[in-house]
Structure 1
Amino acid sequence: MGKVKEEEETMPKQGPSNSRSNRFEKRRKGTKLITWLAGAGALLLVAFIALFIFGGSGGQTASEPSSGEQQSNKDSSQEELNVITDEQTDQESDSSGKSSDKEKQDKQAKEDKEAEKAKEKDAVVEESDKENVERVVKKDWEPVQTEQETDGNHTVTYEKSSQDWQEILQAASKATSIDTGNMIAWRVENGGGAQKVEATVSDKAQQQTYRVYIHWTEGAGYKPIKVEELASNPYQ
């Protein structure tokens, strides 16, 4: 019994201080684990956010369009520019066409006015009470120089292929100021005598119709004598 007692006395005693030390060590290990887990979680969260932001856009920021979008925007802008350019071209073309037509009309009106002045220069203009005749113009026109022989035996020929026909139209042109290339000969006929011709003509636009009295002059050619400005074309 004495020996057992001695052994019991020599064994260390488990007191309150050893128990507190164990609890502190466990708490310290638990705190380190929680801190490590929290750090790892934060890193994972940052990695996830970075992957979401940068991984989905293929390395581009959200504010920067992709190359395909940039090309699409360029193509769209070019199409809009082409449409605007085409519209401007059409407008300019329309404007140019209208301007050109107006210039032609103004030029024609000016030429008609000058021709009217030339026709009435040194001329006698009379009002007429003759049916379908508005005015009568008389003037000492020069005859059209003929290319035919004048031996006193001339006879008027009304064939369109003849030299007479061509010179008659030239005489009508001299009296009316209508160029033969812009002239319509509605009727060319005998004017009441062997050497007298009556020609009804107008310009191709048919703005005015004239009846021209023409006489053949020996040694010279066809000479306009009188012009009647008609109210309407009797042969339309």
Structure 2
Amino acid sequence: MNNNDPNFSRINRKRSTSKSNQLLNVLIGLVVLLIIVVGAFIIIGPKDDKGNDLATDENVEESTSNPTDSQESDSVDDESIEIVEPDDEETESSTDQNAGLSADDSNDGDTESDSSTSSEGEEESSGTVTIVPSEDDFIQESVINTSWKPIGTEQTGVHESKYDGESIDWVEKQKALAYATGFEKDELIYWKIKNGGSPQKSIGIVSTKDKSEKFRVFLEWVDGQGWQPVKMDKLTTLDFEY
């Protein structure tokens, strides 16, 4: 058939039109399918590779990635009900301090007790001094000191009081007289030493070498311990009956 035949031309035109219509239908179908897919995507929401809802995951991520508000709220709640317990070290320190205070109070009591005991001991050691003014013209005052002790002795056996000016007993009498006055033995003048009314009692009249201080001392013998002063008169003069 000749290509110039009118019938051939009409057949070709029909075929071209048919192909165009098919292509147009395909395109229309693709557009419709694309619209359906997009609509479904919008309605259902995007999915990840595992099929999970991406919108939901994003919400979860947003919630977990911003825990500050929740933590702050929990912190506020915790602070409102927080119970503070004492630290062990602080408790031990407080206990030690209390113990230290108790020990200090106890030591203070011991110190006071020791001080009281010491005072009593000093009083016993120093004794009691009694001073009595005298009505006699030649006596200023009389002194009795309970701290006076026997001066010791080198004598043994039965004691015999002697007034010979050279015996051990005589020398020990001089020491006892000096002891009562507070002066050394060699600082005194021994005006008279005589019997005090019994074999175991003596009386001595002494003065300082310048005679500014004058004394009459009464002695008693203590077996094994020597002569002990028991009384002393401070004299105003040596001009009297010894």
| TM-score using structure 1 length | 0.46
